[in-house]
Structure 1
Amino acid sequence: MTIEKLRSRVAAELIRSRERTTYLTDVVDDGDLVRQHSPLMSPLVWDLAHVGNQEELWLVRDVGGREPVRSDIDELYDAFKHARVNRPALPLLGPAEARRYIGQVRSKVLDLVDTVALEGRRLTEGGFAFGMIVQHEQQHAETMLATHQLRRGPAVLGAQPPPEPPPESGTAVRGEVLVAGGPFTMGTSADPWALDNERPAHEVHLPPYFIDAAPVTNAEYQAFVDAGGYDDERWWTVEGWKHRKEAGLGGPMHWNGDGTYTRFGVTEPVRPDEPVVHVCFHEAQAYARWAGKRLPTEAEWEKAARFDPATGHSRRNPWGDDDWTPERANLGQRHLSPAPVGAYPKGASPLGVHQLIGDVWEWCDTGFHGYPGFTAFPYREYSEVFFRPGYKILRGGSFGTDVAACRGTFRNWDYPIRRQIFSGFRCARDMGAS
């Protein structure tokens, strides 16, 4: 890619990300913007100014070497200094002031896109710093979308109903896929916008295993509920059972117990063929045990998604190295729901595993850690400070994840009790286990 094409791409991605942020914050009134809809989430107005502050810190000040726009607010929007539950009590910028601030920052950044050198410095090589900020804003857009799901009141995102996701294609995607044992390349050293925890590429050896051809559906999960899975301690770990009792879990978050769920303020019948969503790691693990299986490890998930047995190479995405197109995966908040299992045959991996990208984040039974040779870049607080027990990996993105923040190597992580995120799962099992 030429430097001029790279500049055009950077500008387009910055604009596209801001359009999504603007939509998610303009669709509600100021009262909703400043309200905390759940102690798990920030007020939307905090996210709005935070994305601008990160953009100012990294692009205006560091990359551009320019004077601060608002250095007086840095501490207010430092995610490590203030827990989400405490953010409403901070002297935050109001909605109008926050919009004005992020507009000022963006004006300076777009000027930088046309002038700053995009080679010769690691931070800007290949447009990395700009790509990091695009991904950061898109990650917060998904967080804001999750906040909308927790919001009470009339539906606002459906004022103009989103298009329905494609129907099941008729392609057989039930059952399991056998993944042959052997080595594969995990992670990346080549993707210019890959974040530090995706690096470096390294060889991993796995024994043969089976993995589900598709995520677990609502109908399949309902069978677990109907069989008394939430009341049978056999299927739960000690930690999971303790959490199930303390949290009073009895089904996925946002299921109403009468065959309906409420999504972004709209209540409708649960669709049996959709991947189940809003389940925590413990729920996913209990289902897998009940089904006589287990959750895949992170390496198993990535091999199923990327490994091409015909070439022995790992692809960037299940469908290949080329970019996402709408018929390949359900990304970008286009449908506001997971698509039915089997809806994206063109996005299947070479091994025949479907919907690994988009629809629902998939829990993996692996803690968050750095790969061999990991180096924090450009700051420890993105990944390295989270390399400790207590987190579980999620892979593949969701219907609320933007393509800029999703690829076959992208890694997400969260506490195993979290389910306000758009999380689902698929199962795996050892070869020979039944």
Structure 2
Amino acid sequence: MPPVTGDEPVRDEDALKELIAAELGASRHRSFGLTTDVLAEDDLVVQVSPLMSPLVWDLAHVGNYEELWLLRAAAGGEPMRPEIDGLYDAFEHPRAERPSLPLLPPAEARAYISTVRAKVLDALPSVPFDTPDPLTNGGFVYGMVVQHEHMHDETMLATHQLRKGAPALLDPAAETVQRGGVPEKGEVLIEGGPFQMGTSDEPWAYDNERPVHIVDVPSYYIDTEPVSNADYMQFMETGGYDDPQWWTQAGWEWRNTSGKRAPAFWKREGGQWIRRRFGRVEPVPPGEPVQHVSWYEADAYARWAGKRLPTEAEWEKAARWDPDVQRSRKYPWGEVYEDGRANLGQRALRPSQEGSYASGASAYGVRRMLGDVWEWTSSDFHGYPGFRSFPYREYSEVFFGPEYKVLRGGSWATHPQAIRGSFRNWDYPIRRQIFSGFRCARAAEAR
């Protein structure tokens, strides 16, 4: 069944609830497929990196979050396991501490979240959606929970990538992607002027995507494709990691203290670059977008290339704005999600090749702005003018400030339900375990 994206004409509340039940099922199927269906118990309880939780924590956390919001808040039910709420509160215990907590063992975690799900589905028919309560109106809280689980599924994929040992995940069967010819690398001019940034009418959008507001952006050029592995190799081979002129002061300090000289999981061997991908070692594909690079690395590359990272507003205008009709689209290609226009949803365990998904280009002809790799922008994470925290401050507001940089567009690991042109992600500029890449921009008057 295609994802519930808020675009489909829903005849009535019952039809919407049927779609919600299907999406809840799809997210849970994916969660089990990344944990108890493919790994032994020891693999689920171990912490592969202090940056990540044990997979069994993520598994029980998505169920506890669902209990809090769908059983207690939406349906008014009694707590099932109130004694574990603190264990699975992401703000009460940092990731490095979680292996030492008395977590539910894998079998008990699976049983717990399955019981929560059964109760949620039993209660769903009686929860009114036509209500002034913004939590349940239009099924918002259900969409929030579905997206939350898919976000943790992407986090679980990052944990799988950090795992050592035999592969647990298999590459899906190869699919035929309509490329329309491999395009020449280039950039397009985005004419200056105002555009509508953010959203006010997407029923399941998060608070940090709201409200829609007008931003006037000067003319600029933006790359038509993400920076590829081959592009990034040129930066490396010409000494990009060794020349401080390309790095910010903080970036150069990170480079010196971290010892990093290549994207995460890369290694030079036998005269070529190889990478480890989900337990497999393979040559680095030159035509894929570079991924597992920090903001500091992306920023240094852009400077080396005579460009810069786009601002968040520049990224969104290039992805969403349709100059012919003077309005922003939900997706680069239009208002309705269409399968096959972007590399999303774990359809492959890797980014696609240059020229892929040409049908998913934006009105400006900028390609692969959804899927493949999260794209770093130059912008700090902050609330839009008129921002209001909802339904809890800890989703967005507590992260506002210069410590976090904004990423846009999703990755191959992002589910279609959890991405749209207005969606905002954020992370520390040192982070590399996420499926992050970038594209470059430059001012129109430059050069």
Q: What TM-score bracket applies, with the shorter chain setting the length?
A: over 0.9
Matched, 1:412 2:422: no
1:172 CA displacement: 1.9
* Aligned mates of 2:378, 2:419 — CA distance in 1: 20
1:265 CA displacement: 0.5
| Residue of structure 2 equivalent to 1:157 | 169
What do the CA deviations read for 1:212-233 (whole angstroms, capped 9, x no partner)? 0000000000000000100111
| Residue of structure 2 equivalent to 1:318 | 332
Where do 1:5-404 residues align within 5 Å? 5-25=15-35, 26-120=37-131, 121-158=133-170, 161-164=172-175, 166=177, 168-172=179-183, 174-258=185-269, 259-325=273-339, 327-404=340-417
* Aligned mates of 2:374, 2:58 — CA distance in 1: 21
2:17 corresponds to which letter in structure 1? R
SS at match of 2:426: strand
* Aligned mates of 1:248, 1:167 — CA distance in 2: 40
* Aligned mates of 1:82, 1:256 — CA distance in 2: 34
Say which is worse superposed, 105-114 or 301-310, in terms of deviation.
Answer: 105-114
1:199 CA displacement: 0.3
Say which is worse superposed, 414-423 or 250-259, in terms of deviation.
Answer: 250-259
Q: CA RMSD in A?
A: 1.0
SS at match of 2:381: coil
1:171 CA displacement: 4.6
* Aligned mates of 1:152, 1:261 — CA distance in 2: 13
Query: In the alignment, is the contact (CA less than 8 A) between 1:362 and 1:424 conserved in 2?
Result: yes
Query: In the alignment, is the contact (CA less than 8 A) between 1:333 and 1:402 conserved in 2?
Result: yes
1:52 corresponds to which letter in structure 2? G
What do the CA deviations read for 1:69-111 (whole angstroms, capped 9, x no partner)? 1011000000001010110000000001100100110001111
1:144 corresponds to which letter in structure 2? M
Report the TM-score when normalising by structure 2. Answer: 0.95
SS at match of 1:391: strand
C-alpha distance 190-416 of structure 1, shift in aligned 2 (>3 A): same
SS at match of 1:365: strand
1:165 CA displacement: 6.6
1:169 CA displacement: 3.4
2:96 corresponds to which letter in structure 1? V
Structure 1 outlier segments of 4+, above 6 Å: none
Query: In the alignment, is the contact (CA less than 8 A) between 1:358 and 1:398 conserved in 2?
Result: yes
1:163 CA displacement: 2.6
SS at match of 2:403: coil
1:61 corresponds to which letter in structure 2? R
1:324 CA displacement: 3.2
* Aligned mates of 1:132, 1:165 — CA distance in 2: 32
SS at match of 1:183: strand
2:291 corresponds to which letter in structure 1? V
* Aligned mates of 1:145, 1:119 — CA distance in 2: 36
Query: In the alignment, is the contact (CA less than 8 A) between 1:173 and 1:341 conserved in 2?
Result: no
* Aligned mates of 2:139, 2:205 — CA distance in 1: 11
1:348 CA displacement: 0.1
1:388 CA displacement: 1.9
Query: In the alignment, is the contact (CA less than 8 A) between 1:397 and 1:406 conserved in 2?
Result: yes
Query: In the alignment, is the contact (CA less than 8 A) between 1:171 and 1:342 conserved in 2?
Result: yes
* Aligned mates of 2:22, 2:341 — CA distance in 1: 21
- Contiguous gaps of at least 5 residues in structure 1: none
SS at match of 1:166: coil
SS at match of 1:114: helix
* Aligned mates of 1:166, 1:44 — CA distance in 2: 32
1:10 CA displacement: 0.6
* Aligned mates of 1:143, 1:180 — CA distance in 2: 37
Query: In the alignment, is the contact (CA less than 8 A) between 1:167 and 1:340 conserved in 2?
Result: no
SS at match of 1:257: strand
* Aligned mates of 1:181, 1:301 — CA distance in 2: 13
1:267 corresponds to which letter in structure 2? V
* Aligned mates of 1:432, 1:301 — CA distance in 2: 18
SS at match of 1:66: coil
2:314 corresponds to which letter in structure 1? E
1:179 corresponds to which letter in structure 2? I
SS at match of 2:370: coil
Give me the identity figure in percent: 60
Report the TM-score when normalising by structure 1. Answer: 0.98
* Aligned mates of 2:420, 2:287 — CA distance in 1: 24
Query: In the alignment, is the contact (CA less than 8 A) between 2:229 and 2:289 conserved in 1?
Result: yes
What do the CA deviations read for 1:232-280 (whole angstroms, capped 9, x no partner)? 1110000000001111110000111232111000111111100000000
C-alpha distance 215-251 of structure 1, shift in aligned 2 (>3 A): same
* Aligned mates of 1:373, 1:112 — CA distance in 2: 35
Query: In the alignment, is the contact (CA less than 8 A) between 1:173 and 1:354 conserved in 2?
Result: no
1:173 CA displacement: 5.1
1:22 corresponds to which letter in structure 2? F
- Contiguous gaps of at least 5 residues in structure 2: 1-9
1:389 CA displacement: 2.0
* Aligned mates of 2:184, 2:65 — CA distance in 1: 42
What do the CA deviations read for 1:132-152 (whole angstroms, capped 9, x no partner)? 000000000000000000000
